[in-house]
Structure 1
């Protein structure tokens, strides 16, 4: 094959005249270009490391300081107060230099030391400034003078052109809350969920813990916070994600979807791979990764480092997350076969049209899967221990190791589905539910759940992704995915035939088919993993819908926080569904701090329960409105506390880990972590609104993403506020629980939203329209 010859740099044959050495100039050229590109990337990385290392100053400021010091010396003044002379006395090569050269070298050394001292001071000042979070607790439009001065100082110390990781060294460390404050907030959060006798029992345990063991455990956490960048994140990643021995499919991984058809979404691969490269080249669009939308406040970007070239490796006791510096290809799965698709040729990234051409080659490949190859991905869907043992026994050497390395070291994973997701005449609601289940678990073997993320593209052009959770949280992946989709639809476009724009180099080598030698014993274990995963997947009940009666625009008109409003609606829906209150989890980010990840907002509060009782008992409208606003304000206060490091659950989690290291059993901490989260919620924010046009192109609707239920008898609810008029919901539960029904709960959410707006709105016409739309609307095919 011609492609095989291009991969050989030289060849030789033995002849009667001697050895006939034949060099392949094209192959040598490819080697040269590949090495050249590698060195260029190293230089770019070094350059960016220097720029981010000296931020908020710039490398050019060093030259300014040197010139300024030399200029003052020529005016016969000594800005160093004798330090330059001291440096000159101790120069190692002073005997071989003239006096004037010694003076200049000493001045340069002093200038460099002064410059580094200024950088350190600026970083320290910026870190102190970023430790102020009072601005979060102020009313919109009512900014205090303190915050105004703070904003001005942050702008002064922030420099002009920050890169993605410029702020990393200036972000404050996550503070360790006082034990008494955490216990007080914890007791406050469980009060509405406990009877008087139960609360008194937990209160006694809490007080005993506070005055005895709590202070001892707290000492270790404070010691860790002084030594580590973040006292929570490494333990959170290890014990919450990596040490889990159950399947990560459904239980940990999550998905993202869209609700429109694209012609042929092959170009997404080019954009995804090029995303990180553009970041290294100071593409300004990447800076939105490190900002809070609508502000100039930087967020930690540590999670962005592992978007590409990252894989979770199974272990017998704990998994590990492995990240490689670079990868020039993606791993592709189609009809039970695995391929390596190179994204670079002759030192350049392939054009979108060329990648489409290569994908078409994979689609046209007539080969059949090797024995055991088709369902190999089931190992990543089942329990972790069997996968770790099988990986060690059957994939440690030979052809299996080479093929597995190819998948694990790929930039990301791609699944080309050979079936259409939905067909004409299908019920739109059922289609969306099937879409969600497919993205979450597929057939349990056609995704590589260990990869940082897997792109899934269906035969009819619909697409989505499945992401592994340990390396990063959903907002990081969501922002990347939105950028890819918006760039694909609105900035690159397609030609009249529906193909990617650009030309094709027909001499491109074919995508490489990965080969396997999977023995029957390995196939038996593979079947066991698949059976475990299949039971889990079949038990998941999903309901996805877009609520179109109103959106955050109408909620803001009644002067309520959209997130607080939705959380109250979820509480009302659950109360009506189950006739009880429950411990509610809402994820909040802590990326205002270095290496921050998430914190829990306990949305079920005394205020929310008081409102729900009053509302359901038919209390006076004004009383219910007052209770509703009080509950919403309480939720916003808890959310801000969580974001600024004063949350409850991560602190208690770390105290529990320390107690386990010390071998001490705490009745209080055992009580805390025995409580189930029957309602687990998360908002997936749309972070690239400026790149979408929902007015002129309403069909280009991002539908957010979802996850499986946390508790066997509970619900998982993910929601997104799309523009001003749409809210999408992803509701999950388990068929095996007779008390839960995702579709029934979805109806309760619709009704609760309408009832709340009717209560709070002053526009009776709008309230009447909302009341008429409590039941689900039939959706047209165009809306999908």
Structure 2
């Protein structure tokens, strides 16, 4: 008989494994766009290549310092207010500890998480430049940690290396569907040189992608022209850059999408990342990235970076490719480019009011935004759909997320009233306007109350989706028939998330986004800022019924109408 604490720990891991399988590892779709999110941070301004190398070296040195904190298991535990609103509750920090220790290995039927042992991995960083990978050792038993000066010189050697048009774009293979990449990887493993390369890529601390150009303005699509990033690139352009690199014609092969963290530095100062989602959630990964960036930005330039380094050129990963591997690359390129071309992105930076206005109305900003998204979808399509909003459950050991379902009877009643008016109030013509406004506000308050409860229930472990998933896996594990519920058409509809949303709040004004999770759906990440809201809307051109730009434009109208609704009631 296992001790109770060990039994609980075992079941926690089993439940987490079920969730990982269901959410990620058993999904055969390609990682970029379909799964891996992207972040574009505030751009950097470099006067020359050495400045860029110095910034990147300092960031990597801070990353090594952070990894040492993780190795010593001394990371400060984060806390949030408990349900009573008075005491503070600790959050599980497991995601932070595994971000730089995990690798997603492709499988034929299911992918696998490889948890790396820190005693024999993570002592090197892989730099991607011109589709070529280089390994930089950052720790060694005989000389300790690399110095900042040496790091700068190593980076400069790579940055100054000219492009080779004959470099095989092996990185593009990680953009393929998971079974396809599994088969291609098996072919690569037949050669000893390739096995060595794969081991270096899969055991590195992270991937650093140095992109030596910019995406063309054909990737631009933001709602306001003044939302220009720099060099005629708008916010949608840099999100495209971080999500997929523009496909094979630009930087799509200058990535290794299986690795948890791919840090991206562009020629024009573009600064961001893309990450493999099964390893962790955005709050953990983005907070690390932003905190380390802030530390580097606060460092005053020093003169010692001019001291020459005597380290040899970083190891260049050379590949031995069979005809089959070359064909695998060609097929992956075609598929990836098709996915990139299909992605429809639009960024809305709404600055007419902020979350502070919403708070003055005693409304949860997140509940408010979710209702705005429901109103927007209804205005475009005339009905509501199953809506996914991620709910952090880090209050529980190994907790990741559950699903806040925003499409409720209450939200439907309110959006119908907003769009059509309340028929019960149309009999009295003289009092129609006032009564209708009051009725709409009543319905809105009911929708807010329902949505606020949904949020609270989910973050406190009372959501339905993880529990239903657990029932399905228990049935399979015990040899029982899967309950009829899971074969019912209504359950299929319930799981078809045509609106997939997530609040991704960052310290700074970052553009964060991802692709839709179904072919006829939208993805919507939103960043609630003190100076407004940043929405990243995605859809697929191939669907024909969805449009990221139209959704953003209608969402802008919805946000204005909701504020007008609240202000009109306040005046009465």
Q: TM-score category by the smaller chain?
A: 0.7 to 0.9
Select the residue among 451, 457, 481 that pairs with 1:664.
Answer: 481
The alpha-carbon distance between structure 1 residues 577 and 539, as it changes in their structure 2 partners (threshold 3 A), is: same
Q: Which residue of 1 aligns with 2:182?
A: 388
Q: Which runs of 5+ in 2 are unaligned?
A: 47-51, 423-435
1:540 equivalent in alignment to 2:343: yes
Q: Which residue of 2 aligns with 1:287?
A: 76
1:374 and 1:545 map into 2 onto residues whose CA distance is 38
2:569 and 2:522 map into 1 onto residues whose CA distance is 33
Q: Which residue of 2 aligns with 1:50?
A: none
Q: Which residue of 1 aligns with 2:195?
A: 401
2:12 and 2:18 map into 1 onto residues whose CA distance is 12
- Give runs of aligned pairs for residues 628-639 of structure 1, distance below 5 A: 628-639=444-455
Q: Which residue of 1 aligns with 2:457?
A: 641
Q: Which residue of 1 aligns with 2:40?
A: 257
Q: Which residue of 2 aligns with 1:720?
A: 527
1:550 equivalent in alignment to 2:353: yes
1:464 equivalent in alignment to 2:244: no
- Give runs of aligned pairs for residues 38-437 of structure 1, distance below 5 A: 227-229=10-12, 232-263=15-46, 264=52, 265-266=55-56, 267-281=58-72, 286-287=75-76, 289=78, 296-326=88-118, 327-344=122-139, 347-366=143-162, 368=164, 373-421=167-215, 428=227, 431-437=234-240
Q: Which residue of 2 aligns with 1:486?
A: 294
Q: Which residue of 2 aligns with 1:87?
A: none
Name the structure with the higher strand share.
2
1:413/1:451 contact within 8 Å kept: yes
1:674 equivalent in alignment to 2:492: yes
1:289/1:479 contact within 8 Å kept: no
1:544 and 1:533 map into 2 onto residues whose CA distance is 23
The alpha-carbon distance between structure 1 residues 418 and 604, as it changes in their structure 2 partners (threshold 3 A), is: same
2:266 and 2:9 map into 1 onto residues whose CA distance is 49
1:548 and 1:288 map into 2 onto residues whose CA distance is 34
2:93 and 2:266 map into 1 onto residues whose CA distance is 32
2:163 and 2:365 map into 1 onto residues whose CA distance is 53
1:504 and 1:637 map into 2 onto residues whose CA distance is 60
Q: Which residue of 1 aligns with 2:283?
A: 475
**Greater alpha carbon shift after TM alignment, 332-341 vs 232-241:** 232-241
User: Following superposition, which runs of at least 4 residues in structure 1 exceed 6 angstroms of deviation?
Assistant: 292-295, 762-765
1:508 and 1:548 map into 2 onto residues whose CA distance is 50
Q: Which residue of 1 aligns with 2:442?
A: 626
1:257/1:704 contact within 8 Å kept: yes
The alpha-carbon distance between structure 1 residues 645 and 439, as it changes in their structure 2 partners (threshold 3 A), is: same
What's the CA shift string for 1:652-698, capped at 9, x where partnerless?
12222333443625332123541111111000123xx4xxxxxxxxx
2:260/2:276 contact within 8 Å kept: yes
Name the structure with the higher helix share.
1
Q: Which residue of 1 aligns with 2:559?
A: 753
Shift of 1:280: 4.1
1:259 and 1:764 map into 2 onto residues whose CA distance is 38
Q: 1:727 is paired with a residue of what secondary structure?
A: strand
1:556 and 1:725 map into 2 onto residues whose CA distance is 14
The alpha-carbon distance between structure 1 residues 493 and 715, as it changes in their structure 2 partners (threshold 3 A), is: farther
2:305 and 2:295 map into 1 onto residues whose CA distance is 16
When the two structures are aligned, how many residues end up with a matched partner? 521
1:473 and 1:705 map into 2 onto residues whose CA distance is 13
2:328 and 2:43 map into 1 onto residues whose CA distance is 39
2:14 and 2:175 map into 1 onto residues whose CA distance is 31
Q: 1:470 is paired with a residue of what secondary structure?
A: helix
What's the CA shift string for 1:683-724, capped at 9, x where partnerless?
0123xx4xxxxxxxxxxx4324111101211111000112x2
Shift of 1:556: 0.7
Q: 2:67 is paired with a residue of what secondary structure?
A: helix
Shift of 1:503: 5.5
Shift of 1:230: 5.0
Q: 1:607 is paired with a residue of what secondary structure?
A: helix
User: What is the alpha-carbon root mean square deviation over aligned residues?
Assistant: 2.7
Q: 2:263 is paired with a residue of what secondary structure?
A: strand
Shift of 1:297: 1.5
Shift of 1:640: 1.0
1:646 and 1:764 map into 2 onto residues whose CA distance is 34
The alpha-carbon distance between structure 1 residues 624 and 376, as it changes in their structure 2 partners (threshold 3 A), is: same
The alpha-carbon distance between structure 1 residues 352 and 557, as it changes in their structure 2 partners (threshold 3 A), is: farther
Shift of 1:755: 1.1
Shift of 1:747: 0.8
1:335/1:374 contact within 8 Å kept: no
Shift of 1:347: 3.4
Shift of 1:330: 0.8
Normalised to the residue count of structure 1, the TM-score between the two structures is 0.63
